[in-house]
Amino acid sequence: MKRVFNFSAGPAMLPEEVLKEAASEMLDYQGSGMSVMEMSHRSKQFVAIYEEAEKLVREVMNVPDNYKVLFLQGGASTQFSMIPMNLMNKYGKVDFVNTGAWTKKAIKEVKIFGQANVVASSEEATFTYIPKDLKFSDDADYVYIASNNTIYGTRYTEFPKTKAPLVADMSSNIMSEPVNVSDFGLIFAGAQKNLGPAGVTLVIVREDLIGNPIKGTPTMMQYSTHVENESMFNTPPTYAIYILGKVLKWVKAKGGIEGVYQNNLKKANLLYNFLDNSKMFKGTAAKEDRSIMNVPFVTGNEELDAKFIKEATAEGLVTLKGHRSVGGMRASIYNAMPYEGVEKLVNFMAEFEKTNS
Amino acid sequence: MKRVFNFSAGPAMLPEEVLKEAASEMLDYQGSGMSVMEMSHRSKQFVAIYEEAEKLVREVMNVPDNYKVLFLQGGASTQFSMIPMNLMNKYGKVDFVNTGAWTKKAIKEVKIFGQANVVASSEEATFTYIPKDLKFSDDADYVYIASNNTIYGTRYTEFPKTKAPLVADMSSNIMSEPVNVSDFGLIFAGAQKNLGPAGVTLVIVREDLIGNPIKGTPTMMQYSTHVENESMFNTPPTYAIYILGKVLKWVKAKGGIEGVYQNNLKKANLLYNFLDNSKMFKGTAAKEDRSIMNVPFVTGNEELDAKFIKEATAEGLVTLKGHRSVGGMRASIYNAMPYEGVEKLVNFMAEFEKTNS
């Protein structure tokens, strides 16, 4: 068996320790005689797994007591409608900062329920930067941003100050660097980048925003349903929550978010420093807004890009093809990507540049 | 390691072969150097896993070409609103046969969108039977039933003939016995009983019912969204689909639904024959409507029930406690429960009866 370094934008690499533990427990979780997949979600064992996962989210992210932690299904795409259905209840208007394909989807969805007010956008520059000097409405139910943009490799290094609750899609950089949860009304993230397998969505929501959905909101789309039943209104995605718990234990063992963040900076700096000094490879995002999770880069020559991707794959550096809207390459270096993976990538890039100049 | 016989109503037992394979592939799926959990849902490997799973559903259930097969998130509880949002588009009225807690939840949800017309109910008899001689409306958008009732241990042995499309919640007996898919407009099932882990919902829907959702239906709640994108509009629950595929391969190897059905009959007959001849234990469902998946039974003495459950657990016969609304015991004997498990249960019941009479 040979493990590769997988630079996929998501689903993405998981810590090897987590996978090993999961494999060893697959037929018998801690003497229960069954897999976690086979357990009733109301069993003592699973309830303990669930409570531990929630506790770890609270501990690792330092979540204040007046926030609820939910494990839901349906991914960020479901949150795009669930959020307005629950929060767009006063003015029928949401302020957006449009920073890419995912905020565009969220904007489109809000229009089903009311007004989507785009206060700023970087679309004219293929979303290569994060708009600054934002002016928000006085009558927005909330302000919506994506903290990190997977496709374009940008991120907020500072979050806007808003009067209305700030809602952030953190799918692609949750728990990769410290954030102050109390600056937000609602934070959500699909698990499949930094938290675990696809199929579970983490939602952290301030209590006062819960319980006032718009008319016609299905029971499953109301946050209050899940709050009142501790995410057990229906069968939760038990196995995905179990893996998420293991990933959070791993984060904690790495020194918590601060520890993981320092390693992420080290990885990102290594790659960006190489890009800034390369004559062949070039990063595509504005320097001041660079993501430390997703690093898109190009050679400017499509044939050379293809050759690079092919040869990198042969070296065990896989899923490096860029998103079709940016082209070139993209290295997603989430929490679980080891420093060695980025080192190997940079060494390979240097060699490739030498051979192909 | 000692595996138990797990009689949980769901999540429930999975075939040991499936779990063993999943464990062995956890760190390296077929030489890819990664877990299926880590794979991009758009990767060649995962697309192949997905297509194989869909092909197996079609093959095992003999799904006609004019039906779409979808793997969604959110469980049956999400279908309770998704179905009316997509199908309740002509008369604003749905006919229901109320056979238990789960149809009641579906009825409650439909009332958000229009009229729920209960044509028959067995609630007055704690849902111990399936109503017969049903008369449906001429102006119902669809007729809704639950083919098997997990809590009460009843099932339709024959499906009603309806003019309007018949919609069936088959969560607790899908693929346990042959059904004619073309008798239905829509079939759905949460995976966590007969198909795989919690977190994926199988939906089989006739093409002509797709594409006309009511106003205000979120994008993720429209079947057409998932049909047009082959369940890849957003990241699907990849690992759950992978396990589901393995379970279906196992079903196929057991002789398909017919093979599994014969084994299910053998298991159910063994247990029901014992119950019918026991002086201590008594089945609670009407004989003619008995489920072959969920078998609730009681002694009539709560203390004795508790003693039975405790001693059975010590023998590795676990999760036998009945639902609080019926009391006593419930043995869920889904496809993956081996005949040996039911045999061991019946032998233990006989011994317990002898010792405690």
- Checking DSSP bridges between strand A115-121 and strand A142-146, what pairing results, if any? unpaired
**A76-132 pLDDT, tens digit each:** 999 999 999 999 999 999 999 999 999 999 999 999 999 999 999 999 999 999 999
Could you read off the pLDDT of A34-53 as tens digits, one per residue? 999 999 999 999 999 999 99
Closest-CA residue of chain B to A316: B33
Averaged over A154-169, what is the pLDDT?
98
Do B235 and A32 make contact, defined as CB atoms within 8 angstroms?
Answer: no
Mean pLDDT of A232-243: 96
Q: In this model, does residue A296 exceed pLDDT 90?
A: yes
DSSP string covering A89-103: -SSSEEEEEE-SHHH
Q: What is the mean pLDDT of residues A237-251?
A: 98
Q: What is the mean pLDDT of residues B285-304?
A: 97
Please state the pTM of the whole predicted model: 0.98
**Would you say residue A1 has pLDDT above 80?**
no
Note the pLDDT of residue A230.
Answer: 81
Residue in the block written with tokens 């060649």? B44
Find the mean pLDDT for residues B39-55.
97
Report chain A residues whose CB lies below 8 A from the CB of B109. Answer: 218-219
Partner A, chain B 318-337, Cβ-Cβ below 8 Å: 318-319
Mutation target to probe the A interface, by most A beta carbons within 10 A, among B20, B234, B313 is: B234
Please answer whether residues A99 and A208 qualify as being in contact, where contact means their C-beta atoms are separated by less than 8 angstroms: no
Domain architecture of chain B: domains with CATH: 5-15+255-356 (3.90.1150.10), 16-253 (3.40.640.10)
pLDDT tens digits for B165-212?
999 999 999 999 999 999 999 999 999 999 999 999 999 999 999 999
Q: What is the mean pLDDT of residues B321-335?
A: 94
- Quote the pLDDT of residue A301: 96
**pLDDT score at A229:** 87
pLDDT at B330 over 90: yes
Interface test with chain B among A42, A234, A332, A334, by most B beta carbons within 10 Å: A234
Closest B-chain CA to A221? B78
What is the per-residue DSSP string for B216-281? T--GGG-HHHHHHTTT-SS---HHHHHHHHHHHHHHHHTTHHHHHHHHHHHHHHHHHHHHHH-SS-
Query: pLDDT-based confidence at B324, cuts 50/70/90?
Result: confident
pLDDT higher than 70, residue A61: yes
B40/A14 Cβ within 8 A: no
Contact indicator for A185, A66 with CB cutoff of 8 Å: no
At residue B1, the pLDDT reads 64
pLDDT in tens, A258-293: 999 999 999 999 999 999 999 999 999 999 999 999
Give residue B15's pLDDT.
Answer: 98
Q: Looking at this predicted complex, what is its ipTM?
A: 0.98
Tell me, what's the pLDDT at A38? 98
How many Å lie between the alpha carbon of B109 and the closest alpha carbon of chain A? 7
Confirm or reject contact between A263 and chain B (CB < 8 A): no
pLDDT at B222: 98
Query: Is residue B233 within 8 Å of B220, Cβ to Cβ?
Result: yes
Alpha-carbon distances, residue B3 vs A157, A185, B21, B251 (angstroms): 50, 45, 16, 21
Q: How does DSSP assign A173-205, residue by residue? A: TTTSS---GGG-SEEEEETTTTTSSTT-EEEEE
Residue A231 — pLDDT band, cuts 50, 70, 90?
confident
- Among A1, A192, A199, beta carbon nearest to B199: A199
Active site amino acids of B: 102, 169, 193
Q: Please tell me if residue B6 touches chain A, with a CB cutoff of 8 Å.
A: yes
Which of A68, A95, A141, A193 does the annotation list as catalytic? A193
The band of B252, judged by pLDDT with boundaries at 50, 70 and 90, is very high
> Residue B332 above 90 pLDDT?
yes
DSSP string, A130-172: ---S----SS-SEEEEESEETTTTEE-SSPPP-SSPEEEE-TT
The answer to whether the CB of B142 falls within 8 A of the CB of B113 is no
Average pLDDT, chain A: 97
Confidence check: pLDDT of B99 > 90: yes
**pLDDT band for position B229 (cuts 50, 70, 90):** confident
Nearest to B1 among A27, A74, A219 (CB): A27
- In the predicted structure, residue A241 carries a pLDDT above the cut 90: yes
pLDDT of B254-285, one tens digit each? 999 999 999 999 999 999 999 999 999 999 99
- A232 touches B at CB < 8 Å: no
Taking only residues 117 to 156 of chain B, the set having a beta carbon closer than 8 angstroms to any beta carbon of chain A reads none
Which member of B11, B34, B233 has the closest CB to residue A235?
Answer: B11
